[in-house]
Structure 1
Amino acid sequence: MAEATMTSRERVRAAFAHVQPDHTPCDYFATPEIHQALLSRFGISSEEALLDIIGTDIRVVSPPYIGPPLPRFDDRSTMNIWGIRKRPLPNEYGDYMEPVNFPYAQWTSVEEAEQFPWPDPDWFDYSAVKALCSRYPHHAIVTGSFSVQDFINGVAFGRGVEQTLIDIATEDPVFLYILERRHRFYMEMISRTLEAAEGRIDMVLCGDDFGTQRGLLISPETFDKLFSERKAEFFSMVHAHGARVTHHCCGSSAALFPRFIAIGMDAVQTIQPRAAGMDPFELKRTYGRDIVLHGAVDAQGWLQAVTPQEVEKEVRRLIEEVGQEGGFILSPSHNFQPDTPIENVLAFYRTVAKARGERPGF
């Protein structure tokens, strides 16, 4: 254990350097239902205040959007910069925003795709980034989101899942054109964000879901052919600005870990224990010196079913075993889902505080 107390930023940077921090850093991801329940529980209105209370180490900074107004509709749907209209669709426990317009679905030629009003990186105010970063002098700062790059989901939202999987199998030129549009957009947007931050941003969150519950969604060879080079270029750009990459990837992606490491991925976010081959303890033993594990507390059913005492036991075990010698950022394996008892969410962060020798006030 390190002797001196680290700042949150130092703690996260040590974890990425595979050096033992004073304490395992932790992060927060939640659905709107859980987020609102936590705000109500503490009688607060801001995410920043919530993160301060539960004691997380990472804060998000993004350049403000200043582009054309994004349409909003009477059915509560909204349109994003990619022309995808999403509406909250109910499930048993809450709502998820799902696509409802599929604007790319009918395209059969690159010429049709070229006519679409694609987003412009100029739609963001990079001049505001440095001041936003200055609000968090002691925290690690991340920019980006699950949607950065996100070649498979990002295209499927506009083209449909089935068509996108066919596109990948046939290497359809329309798919490849959209993929490249997304890649070039985020290369420029994130590069300009990092440049504006002048070294103060520590991490970039990006994503793509390459796994199913039982194995890979695509073959390793397809990953190499369609995605690897673009991922490597993006990671190299991030590293050139002194930042690290944490890459969101749902499902069973363990078979791609050697490739992830080879192309410069620093961390995998969404260590989903119930997916095949994704046991965090085994991943730590196999890849712990080469890639950071970001996640690992099972939000896919386990957190919903156990007691707060069981949450504490598992979180302590993860800190003590997976957190050894750095290489680990503790967080839920995905967003805390709407059916998760709030007491279990609080038990998660209460355990973190206790492990740091603090007395949590919740």
Structure 2
Amino acid sequence: MLLKTKGVLKMITREHFLAVLHGESNEVFSWTMSFFNELLAEKLLGKDCIPSDAIPQKEFNFGASPQADWAVKALYAERAGMPAVPVGWGVGIYFGHGGPGEFREKSISFTENKRLTLYETGVHKEVRYNPHFYHHYNYPLDELTMDMAINLPNPDDPDRYQGLADEVSYHKNRNRMTFTSLNGFFSGIHYFLYSYEKFLMDLLLKPDEVKVLIDRLGEYNLKVAEHLLQAGVDLICCCDDLGSGNSLLMSPELYRRYFRPWHAALAELCHRYGAFLHLHSHGNINLIMKDLYEIGVDILNPLDPYENMDLSELADRYGDRITFAGGLDKFFFDWSPEEQQAFLENLFVKVKKGFFIMDSGGIPENVTREGWKCFEEAKAALKNKYQR
């Protein structure tokens, strides 16, 4: 059964999603990772499908999405080309971000070209529009010590998850898969607690202090994840960029020492509740693919060929346990429609197992309505041609 309407892909059912995940179907579905910003999403998809929680409000918000947005988020997921609905306040536009599983964010100032926000941990973020740019600053930790104060919210506060189970049930009762976000174990440090450059250096220079920090966040994350799973969420999406275009950001040994145990614990926790772990990592992470396979990651994205991640080869080697999402080149949306079509068709031909087509790092600002329409129609046409 092909799910499409007038040449454009429709959102899929739970049965179709799970068939791909369990290796029972070789169908190819779409999963849009992100849009560079909410203004672009509105331009390409229509204002009526952009939820009210797409950008941070003036106060920290917790729990479920506003109830009026539940149907809106389903419409957003369908138009954006997503196989599951984002649940939780702030989950939607950006993969792996927002919702009760990530430290909450509130708006400080907003202008036409820039917004400033503050997270619960005290770190600030600046987001610029056209061209897209963001960075974090004013971290709560200036240096790592064995007795450093790591101030995190209470992960067991019921207000953080208020109404989430009802939102999840709303979508499950309509045969939709649901997902929400969780802080990364690596990126959760350099987004919210400690600067990226210092953290990378201290992985080598201050191993004991680094372990204290990672373990503190890891314990917090697992407690939060269990509350999300108790609410019935189907997929936990965790953003943990571990690679550069050439290789890992750390040695495989450092990954195994600091982060593999936490990724493994999260995967085990998800499986205990009958749920799934969807891990995001940019970069060439081939050196730890066996690790991710062994610990039980269910879905992995984005596998950018520009970063030497070959979706076809990885699916052949690890596809009996990992379902892959991605495969698009970093510069895919700079190409002509003909080049895009040929690239997509090559994926349909070479990747034999079911997978999700996903952008490499968000739909960029240069994509026009016509360009988006061509992309959607190309995917639908290839599904029809190859009966996938």
Q: TM-score, normalised by structure 1?
A: 0.83
C-alpha distance in 2 between matches for 1:271 and 1:250: 7
Partner of 1:51: 77
Does structure 1 conserve the Cα–Cα contact (< 8 Å) formed by 2:324 and 2:356?
yes
C-alpha distance in 2 between matches for 1:275 and 1:67: 27
Partner of 2:265: 233
C-alpha distance in 1 between matches for 2:347 and 2:159: 39
Q: 1:124 to 1:98 in 2, by over 3 A?
A: farther
Partner of 1:166: 201
Q: Once the 2 structures are TM-superposed, how far is the Cα of residue 221 of structure 1 from its aligned partner?
A: 1.1
Aligned match for 1:302, one of 332, 349, 353: 332
Q: 1:74 to 1:143 in 2, by over 3 A?
A: closer
C-alpha distance in 2 between matches for 1:67 and 1:141: 16
Partner of 2:360: 333
Aligned match for 1:280, one of 297, 311, 317: 311
Q: Which amino acid aligns with 1:311?
A: Q
Aligned-partner SS, 1:113: coil
Does structure 1 conserve the Cα–Cα contact (< 8 Å) formed by 2:248 and 2:285?
yes
Aligned match for 1:269, one of 284, 298, 301: 301
Q: Once the 2 structures are TM-superposed, how far is the Cα of residue 238 of structure 1 from its aligned partner?
A: 0.6
Does structure 2 conserve the Cα–Cα contact (< 8 Å) formed by 1:86 and 1:99?
yes
Q: Where in structure 2 are the equivalents of 1:34-183 lying within 5 Å?
A: 35-47=38-50, 48=73, 49-62=75-88, 72-74=107-109, 76-89=115-128, 93-105=130-142, 107-114=143-150, 116=151, 118=153, 120-122=155-157, 124-136=159-171, 137-144=174-181, 148-157=182-191, 158-183=193-218
- Could you report, residue by residue, the CA deviation over 1:30-86 in whole angstroms, capped at 9, with x for unpaired residues? 3344x5334234543324334333553221112665999955434731111232111
For structure 2, the residue ranges without an aligned partner over 5 or more in a row are 3-9, 51-72, 90-98
Instruction: Kindly indicate whether residue 53 of structure 2 is the aligned counterpart of residue 19 of structure 1.
Output: no
C-alpha distance in 2 between matches for 1:288 and 1:39: 35
Q: Which amino acid aligns with 1:292?
A: T
Count of aligned pairs between the two proteins: 339
Q: 1:135 to 1:350 in 2, by over 3 A?
A: farther
Q: Once the 2 structures are TM-superposed, how far is the Cα of residue 168 of structure 1 from its aligned partner?
A: 0.8
Does structure 2 conserve the Cα–Cα contact (< 8 Å) formed by 1:8 and 1:25?
no
C-alpha distance in 2 between matches for 1:293 and 1:66: 23
Q: TM-score, normalised by structure 2?
A: 0.78
C-alpha distance in 1 between matches for 2:294 and 2:152: 35
Does structure 2 conserve the Cα–Cα contact (< 8 Å) formed by 1:65 and 1:124?
no
Q: Once the 2 structures are TM-superposed, how far is the Cα of residue 211 of structure 1 from its aligned partner?
A: 0.9
RMSD across aligned C-alpha pairs, in angstroms? Answer: 3.0
C-alpha distance in 2 between matches for 1:14 and 1:294: 15
Aligned match for 2:340, one of 306, 311, 325: 311
For structure 1, the residue ranges without an aligned partner over 5 or more in a row are none
